[in-house]
């Protein structure tokens, strides 16, 4: 039984004493691996462990490949969530305090100190750091920092002055996600559930009822010409409000949203929706009736909907349903868009085609998507749209939007997507138009173009996520980069603002080079100016003058500059998929804005999240396991492997304790094996020895290739499980021959497997390495390389033996015979020649049976194929069923002596397994025993079989 915690503590102490992960520039090629730094408002749970474990495996693998690999870590204090938590502690929030006590086991006296936001951050900073150390992450802790450290703040001030000088930071009035309680813009890190508050702009089309405006929200202003009626919910109490100098009728929720859009809202009265049923509104000289509809939602848009039944499947079905109940209502859809795919009334066509029966049919969403997509990209406006007739829908949208605005027939409503979204303080967020706010102008087209260039040249793993980045870059607009509350760095030219958390965390990877010197006090904030950063990052300026001005020694200044020039750019950036729409894209945008192309990031690695027994982790479900508790209960290495082996990169990993138990058992088995074998090779290698070394080369190639693509589940499966069947076959072969000289071979194989296991399970791999009698750290050993001395004939020989033994077993299983005699018949020489030619044809791409037969008949050595044309089809199929490497061997190598191999190597296995002697004959042997005429069925690598 392994004491996981003891072993892990032992090796962490050894690594620390040897300063194993403190990385300095040297003459080797470098690799700089970074991962999104944590926000310390709670301890990390198993889900957090995935991203950091993947990054650590990557860093450890690269070190073993000979790269000088730096893997640092910082802590992100910036933002408002910690402020919100401190307020809740101050207010005595029972739920939060209970979480601290029962879930996170924070001492009561410490919780009392949490009224100070920095105390919360400092406590969980240390908790997270300890968990990372216990997980065995190979981090250079000398480079640790927080985003409120004085030198870091100087770094952010320089970054923002630089961005402003390049016109990437602008001031203006723009919409942002907003917390009405905190009076602050909100981003992903500020919301419950880490939801990025994106929003949609709706056009409010103004319909008139006497002196009142009834606005309706739409994404398709061009459909105004096809409106037949409005829908209103009789059950809703609407608000009659003064909006600036106009009187509007809207839902209560809409009235509140409008308050944040630079409009003055004055309540007048509450009116039941039922009072408006049957009334008539007007727009563009058209009279339009109002019909009742229970499907209209108060919280969506204005709570009143304009109906375009010719082009909106929902509206069409609602009108059909309404007219069934009210036959006297005679309203016909008005078709305004022509497409080749549809006839006069597209919505009617698609509803009938999909068999939609009522408004609750889920197929209405599909119908809507089909109509909208085809009309947007290929639709043209008809003559009844007046001066817009002939315009493509894709072009008409913005034109008609502008026309409606100019004629004062429209306004704008901004709504959060996927609402309601709540701030961490608990308040429901809204969209607010901020005046005189500072923004990063991500709308700048030249900036987007440079970013796209970077993505084109960059490695993105897995590659299928690349399109998501392209999409994000495309839709990004101005983004608020400052707020008036929270922890962080003041905007250098406007001290009333604080740089927000997704804007001060985009180029901090460069700061890791400086952090070591800040921590050692060789670099202090006092006196640091922009000239310092310009010199370190770009080599601009005179070192003597910069050092004098910035109160730093010239020697240290040059050393920092040299360190940066050595380690930058970032070679791989690891993060979760949830950061693709924000941090990871901003990381690239800001790098291309500030740094020259040679310093742009080289790679982004994106992973999915972690589920617990198939369910999302949440406090409400009680399935969150704090990472340090899991380490204490199960060991760090089993947790690392259970996280990795449950899914490939972009898939959601499903963590469960059963897989932890399986992995522990597997590792314990390998650990026990490490005590059994000692170095020392046999004087002469047997066929099975050559074969197992060939399989070991194959294992190295497969595992290396998988890790390079960050297919870590596949790599780990190769190391722990796939190779096991090869080992079992090798042991069976050796045991059948009563060999006692294989300890050294198994020692060599185990050493290779343990070395490849090391990046994944670093603690137990070190213990195994030591147990094998190997010197030094396995983490410092070279990544295994293939020998390139494999005896290819041995590979074919062993494949023959394995497949033949399997055939014998299968026949015995089916026939249930108790064998008295087993006889094999190997193929005639002409079949061997024919088989090789067939293999050569298949490898060259020729699989046409007729063509292959024709070629074989033309050759005197294989013309006998005429007697057995079915031989070609069977051979082609069997060759195609094999791996590409084996096909090449079949085509390239001289045939092996199957009689000799089966007689000398398989006989012992057959005797041991079935307690009978094995006889082997050639198909053409006139003296063979063949009572059932089986020999004629023999094919190369597929001997015919007779059992009695």
User: Binding site residues for ATP, as ranges?
Assistant: 619
Decide if 800 contacts 691 (C-beta within 8 A): no
Hey, how many other C-beta atoms are within 10 angstroms of the C-beta on 799?
A: 17
Decide if 864 contacts 833 (C-beta within 8 A): no
Burial class of 629 by CB neighbour count within 10 A (0 to 12, 13 to 18, 19+): middle
Phi then psi for 341, rounded to 5 degrees? -75, -25
- Mark the binding-site residues, compressed into ranges: 619
Burial class of 409 by CB neighbour count within 10 A (0 to 12, 13 to 18, 19+): buried
- Which of these, 526, 589, 513, 516, lies nearest to 153 by C-alpha position? 526
Burial class of 267 by CB neighbour count within 10 A (0 to 12, 13 to 18, 19+): exposed
3-state secondary structure of 271: strand
Cα–Cα distance list, 168 to 162, 504, 519, 586 (Å): 9, 14, 31, 13
Q: In angstroms, rounded to a whole number, what is the distance separating the alpha carbons of residues 522 and 532? A: 14
Dihedral sign, Cα of residue 55, residue 59, residue 64, residue 65? positive
Decide if 71 contacts 62 (C-beta within 8 A): no
Hey, how many other C-beta atoms are within 10 angstroms of the C-beta on 41?
A: 21
3-state secondary structure of 792: helix
Decide if 374 contacts 339 (C-beta within 8 A): yes
Q: Quote the tokens at residue 673.
A: 């094996």
Q: How many residues does the chain have?
A: 948
Angle CA(849)–CA(853)–CA(856) in degrees, nearest 5?
Answer: 140
Q: Quote the tokens at residue 124.
A: 């969980």
- Which of these, 596, 599, 543, 589, lies nearest to 566 by C-alpha position? 599
Decide if 232 contacts 292 (C-beta within 8 A): yes
3-state secondary structure of 202: strand
Q: In angstroms, rounded to a whole number, what is the distance separating the alpha carbons of residues 359 and 312? A: 12
Hey, how many other C-beta atoms are within 10 angstroms of the C-beta on 478?
A: 19
Burial class of 700 by CB neighbour count within 10 A (0 to 12, 13 to 18, 19+): buried
| H or E element at residue 404 | helix 393-406
């Amino acid at each position: 039984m392994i004491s996981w915690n003891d072993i892990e503590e032992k090796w962490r102490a050894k690594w620390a004493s040897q300063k194993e992960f403190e990385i300095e520039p040297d003459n080797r090629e470098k690799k700089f691996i970074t991962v999104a730094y944590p926000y310390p408002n709670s301890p990390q749970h198993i889900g957090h462990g995935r991203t950091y474990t993947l990054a650590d495996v990557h860093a450890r693998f690269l070190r073993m490949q000979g790269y000088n690999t730096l893997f640092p870590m910082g802590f992100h204090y910036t933002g408002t969530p910690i402020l919100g938590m401190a307020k809740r502690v101050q207010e005595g929030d029972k739920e939060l305090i209970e979480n601290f006590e029962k879930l996170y086991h924070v001492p009561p006296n410490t919780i009392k100190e949490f009224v100070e936001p920095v105390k919360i951050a400092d406590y969980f900073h240390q908790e997270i750091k300890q968990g990372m150390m216990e997980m065995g992450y190979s981090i250079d802790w000398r480079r640790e920092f927080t985003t409120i450290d004085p030198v870091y703040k100087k770094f952010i001030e320089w970054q923002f002055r630089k961005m402003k000088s390049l016109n990437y930071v602008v001031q203006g009035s723009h919409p942002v996600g907003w917390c009405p309680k905190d009076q602050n813009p909100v981003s992903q890190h500020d919301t419950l559930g880490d939801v990025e508050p994106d929003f949609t702009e709706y056009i409010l089309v103004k319909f008139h009822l006497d002196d009142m405006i009834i606005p309706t929200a739409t994404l398709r202003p061009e459909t105004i010409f096809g409106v037949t009626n409005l829908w209103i919910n009789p059950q809703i109490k609407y608000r009659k409000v003064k909006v600036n100098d106009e009187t509007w009728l809207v839902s209560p929720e809409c009235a509140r949203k409008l308050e944040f859009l630079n409009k003055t809202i004055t309540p007048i009265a509450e009116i039941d929706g039922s009072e408006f049923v049957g009334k008539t509104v007007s727009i563009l000289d058209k009279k339009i009736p109002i019909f009742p509809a229970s499907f209209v939602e108060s919280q969506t848009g204005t709570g009143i909907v304009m109906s375009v039944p010719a082009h909106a499947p929902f509206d069409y079905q609602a009108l059909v349903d309404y007219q069934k109940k009210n036959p006297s209502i005679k309203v016909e859809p008005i078709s305004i868009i022509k497409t080749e795919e549809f006839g006069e009334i597209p919505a009617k066509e698609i509803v009938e085609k999909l068999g939609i029966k009522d408004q609750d049919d889920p197929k209405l969403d599909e119908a809507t998507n089909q109509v909208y997509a085809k009309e947007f990209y290929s639709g043209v406006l008809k003559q009844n749209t007046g001066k817009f007739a002939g315009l493509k829908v894709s072009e008409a949208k913005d034109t008609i939007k502008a026309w409606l605005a100019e004629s004062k027939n429209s306004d704008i409503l901004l709504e959060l997507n996927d609402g309601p979204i709540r701030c961490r303080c608990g308040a429901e967020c809204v969209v607010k138009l901020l005046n005189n706010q500072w923004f990063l102008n991500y709308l700048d087209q030249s900036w987007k173009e440079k970013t796209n260039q970077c993505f084109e040249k960059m490695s993105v793993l897995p590659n299928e996520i690349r399109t998501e980045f392209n999409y994000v870059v495309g839709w990004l607009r101005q983004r608020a980069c400052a707020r008036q509350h929270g922890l962080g760095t003041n905007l250098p030219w406007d001290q009333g603002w604080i740089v927000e958390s997704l804007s001060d965390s985009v180029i901090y990877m460069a700061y890791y080079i400086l952090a070591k010197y800040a921590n050692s006090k060789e670099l202090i904030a006092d006196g640091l100016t922009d000239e310092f950063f310009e010199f370190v990052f770009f080599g601009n300026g005179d070192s003597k003058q910069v050092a004098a001005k910035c109160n730093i020694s010239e020697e240290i200044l040059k050393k920092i500059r040299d360190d940066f020039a050595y380690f930058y750019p970032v070679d791989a950036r690891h993060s979760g998929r949830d950061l693709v729409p924000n941090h990871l894209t901003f990381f690239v945008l800001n790098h291309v804005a500030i740094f020259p192309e040679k310093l742009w990031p080289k790679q982004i690695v994106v992973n999915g999240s972690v589920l617990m027994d198939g369910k999302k982790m949440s406090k409400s479900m009680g399935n969150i396991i704090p990472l340090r508790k899991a380490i204490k209960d199960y060991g760090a290495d089993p947790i690392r492997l259970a996280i990795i082996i449950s899914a490939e990169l972009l898939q959601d990993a499903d963590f469960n304790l059963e897989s932890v138990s399986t992995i522990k058992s597997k590792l314990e088995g390998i650990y026990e094996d490490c005590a059994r074998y000692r170095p020392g090779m046999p004087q002469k290698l047997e066929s099975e020895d050559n074969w197992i070394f060939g399989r070991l080369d194959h294992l190295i190639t497969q595992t290396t290739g998988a890790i390079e693509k960050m297919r870590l589940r596949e790599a780990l499966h190769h190391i722990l499980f796939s190779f096991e069947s090869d080992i079992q076959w090798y042991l069976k072969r050796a045991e059948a021959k009563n060999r006692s000289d294989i300890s050294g071979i198994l020692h060599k194989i185990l050493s290779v497997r343990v070395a490849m296991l090391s990046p994944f399970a670093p603690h137990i791999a070190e213990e195994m390495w030591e147990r094998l009698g190997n010197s030094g750290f396995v983490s410092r050993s070279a990544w295994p390389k293939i020998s390139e001395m494999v005896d290819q004939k041995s590979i074919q020989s062993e494949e023959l033996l394995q497949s033949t033994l399997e055939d014998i077993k299968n026949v015995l299983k089916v026939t249930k015979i108790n064998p008295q005699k087993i006889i094999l018949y190997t193929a005639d020489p002409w079949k061997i020649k024919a088989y090789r030619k067939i293999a050569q044809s298949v490898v060259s791409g020729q699989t046409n049976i007729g063509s292959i037969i024709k070629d074989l008949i033309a050759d005197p050595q294989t013309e006998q194929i005429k007697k057995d044309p079915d031989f070609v089809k069977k051979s082609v199929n069997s060759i195609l069923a094999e791996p590409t490497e084996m096909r090449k061997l079949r085509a390239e190598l001289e045939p092996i002596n199957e009689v000799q191999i089966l007689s000398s190597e398989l006989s012992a296995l057959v005797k041991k397994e079935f307690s009978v002697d094995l006889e082997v004959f050639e198909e053409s042997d006139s003296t063979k025993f063949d009572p059932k005429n089986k020999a004629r069925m023999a094919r190369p690598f597929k001997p015919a079989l007779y059992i009695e």
